[in-house]
Amino acid sequence: MKRFCAAFALLLASCEEAPQEQVASGLPEVAYASFQERVEKVILPKVEFNETPILDVLGLIQELSQVHADDQMGISILVDLGPQQMALEKRITLRMEHASLKEVLEAVAEQIHVKVIFEELGRAVFRPLSYDPTPLTEVYEVSPLFLETLRIHGLRQAESESAPDRRDLNKDSVISYLESCGVSFGASASATLDVENRKMTVVNEGEQIALVDPLVKHIDGVHDALMDDPKIHRLTEIRKNLDETILPKVKFHETPLSDALSTLHWDNQTKLPSMIFDFGAGFDLQGLAEKNAPVDKGPVTVDLENVSLRDAFGAILDQANAKLVVEPFAIKMVPKWLPDPVYLLRCFDAPPEIFDVSLPKQRDPFGDAPESPESLDSPSVKAVLESVGITFPGESNAVYDVVNRQLVVRTTEDQLPLIKRFIEFKPPAN
């Protein structure tokens, strides 16, 4: 008796960490059509308990399930009561004869005011009465950083597999990543990803959905922190003004390029308070006549009505073979052939010590999601990186995710090798 109780206590301890992974092995497919039929057909001649501790009761039932089954194989009994763990301290009195294993387990569950669920994986699980196994469907709008996190997880997983090119972000990485964070997926559960629309659909039990929510919110919160930068806010405001400022009429006839641009700006300067606009800082007029695409500084002619300020600039610059580029402190005229900057989002595993800064207290990723993520201030991280020559042009930024111990950057491609080299060779702080 003590042997089985000790074994069952050990089973309970393991159940607290991963209850979904404990399964009975070797159930015969011929003798019983299903696990439900198995617990109904295994008959226990007699069970009798008198003020017996519940752990001893379950241990003995587990022993009897092996003794009285035709195939001499027992069942797995798991307990996952959450806040009702106090039920395990109860003692029960029960006497039954020629009862099925199912009837006995249900009678035990009734006495301690819980329910027993017979899962097809070959286990009887004691759950709270409030437990509802009906799958829920949740659709999440996820950030680009969440997609990047899934991509990196898939690449790391593929490195240890024989056919990495067969990995599918939509089908594999999303479930694998969520499982690595402690979310369990049963036979009827699923998770799919719509990369184009940045949506993730999860079908799972309510208690598992509860684990997904803070996970998604945390990563999306880190992305929001990455975009919460004064430079990016200024750029957003400038672009908004360019698009939302509507001009009733714009008319220039054989007007010098510099005069047309200067007039267009000064007439609307109050609507563009964040812009620096002059020939020295506002416009890059040097070196424009290069290669086969020189800027034509000759006169321009436009006649437009009810047009946005952006389109008005565009119509003028188009005649000069140039385009408008928005920067945090200026709008610039540059040749059309110059490529637009491309900003890439990347995550790097990085110990916090390399930034020589004190960390805030680490938050439980599965606890209540904070309104804003606990991460190092962007200036602190950027200052360390800038001190070794790494630059953050335009809409670049960097934050440190304390929970996942990752440096998250949004920057141009030429800076990524420098950041990677810094992380690989930077010695930890003393």
According to the model, what pLDDT value does residue 261 have?
A: 82
pLDDT of residue 164: 45
Amino acid at 321: N
Picking from 288, 379, 263, 273, the residue whose alpha carbon sits closest to that of residue 330 is 273
Written as six digits, the tokens of 276 are 């620096």
- Quote the pLDDT of residue 268: 67
This prediction has a pTM of 0.61
**Do the strands 91-100 and 397-401 form a parallel or antiparallel pair, or are they unpaired?**
unpaired
Domains defined along the chain, listed by start: 2-127 (3.55.50.30), 136-227 (3.30.1370), 234-335 (3.55.50.30), 343-425 (no CATH)
Q: For position 161, what pLDDT does the model report? A: 56
pLDDT at residue 416, as a whole number: 92
- pLDDT tens-digit profile of 316-327? 888 888 888 887
- pLDDT, one tens digit per residue, over 291-322 is 445 556 678 899 999 999 899 999 988 888 88
The confidence score (pLDDT) of residue 426 equals: 66
Write out residues in the chain with pLDDT < 50, as ranges: 1-31, 162-171, 273-292, 358-374, 430
How confident is the model at residue 427, as a pLDDT? 56
pLDDT score for 277:
36
**In this structure, which long-range contacts are made by residues 416-424, counting pairs with CB atoms below 8 Å and at least 24 apart in sequence?**
416/344, 416/346, 418/388, 418/389, 418/390, 419/346, 419/348, 419/385, 419/390, 420/348, 422/354, 422/385, 422/388, 422/390, 423/348, 423/349, 423/350, 423/354
pLDDT for 37 equals 81
Summarised one tens digit per residue, pLDDT across range 67-109 is 887 776 778 888 877 767 777 888 999 999 999 999 999 999 8
pLDDT at 126: 86
What does the pLDDT read at residue 159? 67
